[in-house]
Amino acid sequence: MAQRPQIVRTIPQLRKAVRSWRRRGKTIALVPTMGALHAGHMSLVETAKKNANRTVVSIFVNPTQFGPNEDFSIYPRHEQQDWEMLAKAKADLLYVPSVPVMYSEDFSTNVEVLGHLTSRMEGSTRPHHFAGVMTVVAKLFLQCLPDMAVFGEKDYQQLLAVQRMVLDLDMPIEILAAPIVREEDGLAMSSRNAYLSPTERTLAPRLYQVMQNVAKELSGGRPVNEALYLGRDWLEGAGLRVDYLEVRDANTLLPLEEYVNDPARLLAAVNLGQVRLIDNVPVYPMH
């Protein structure tokens, strides 16, 4: 059996481990997660291991990024199983802080990335989400002081917002992006897929199929408004309630004019029963 990574639960323990690696000239990558790990997370760990000498994985279900009616209390938590997966992936250290370690009773600070990166799409539906994410990520960065950190493209807005925060606050941390990992039928891996009923699970891959078709239409020269209209229709027809389906500049997330002339990203969130699925795909410009 693979050797399990050491678990630390406090900031001094984390800093001690990182300091001793640093003294030996090792580079360190942090993979921030909320646990309930799956193959998507393992690909983040793989990216970390390829790029750094030591990999720290944090597991913290961060209450401040959940809205009042969201799934914080029922979010899947299986530390033991996560620990075993991280042993197989050969992560070096698992950091599992508690809520009081992360947030003292008089905690009063927010880190916010303002503007178009966070105000629309996930930011419209989940108004306090990104402030919660940026604050906890900034804290994890300062607690661990890694050379680099790995984020998945699955949460595309989050990835761009973290990159912005690091630039704006002069954090000397390189942000590495890892591609979305999908099930065989195309459904993007997510800890929340576990909530899908068997019937919902058979409908869920329609999201990716429709997004690929919309991306093809856009690359083929169909105007943005028309392609999105079609896409929303296809999704609703497949039984997925559309929260948003948007195509944006891939780097700035600014809205596009009539056609896709530069690299773009198609982003969507849909509701299927009680489950909210998000996904995104690249859209290549017309030739």
Binding positions for ligand PAF, rule: CB under 6 A: 32-34, 62, 65, 133, 136-137, 155, 158
- Beta 264-272 vs 275-283: how paired, if at all? antiparallel
Which of 182, 155, 143, 1 has its CA nearest to residue 60?
Answer: 143
The label of the residue with tokens 């800890």 reads 191
Which CB atom, from 65 or from 118, has the smaller least distance to ligand PAF? 65
Please state at what angle helix 11-23 crosses helix 129-144, rounded to 10 degrees.
50
Nearest distance in Å: CB 220, ligand PAF: 33
- The residue behind tokens 């914080």 is 72
Active site residue 287: no
Tokens of 69: 């009616």
Q: State the minimum distance, in angstroms, from the CB of residue 151 to ligand PAF.
A: 7
CB atoms within 10 A of CB 150: 29
- Closest approach, Cβ 80 to ligand PAF, in A, equals 19
Q: Which is nearer to ligand PAF, 87 or 111 (CB)?
A: 111
- Of 147 and 155, the one with the shorter C-beta distance to ligand PAF is 155
Q: Which of 38, 41, 78, 287 is catalytic?
A: 41
Q: How far is the CB of 107 from ligand PAF (least distance, A)?
A: 15
Question: 253's torsion region: left (phi>0), alpha (psi -120 to 50) or beta?
Answer: left
Beta carbon nearer to ligand PAF, 17 or 135: 135
d(CA 8, CA 259): 50
Residues noted as catalytic = 41
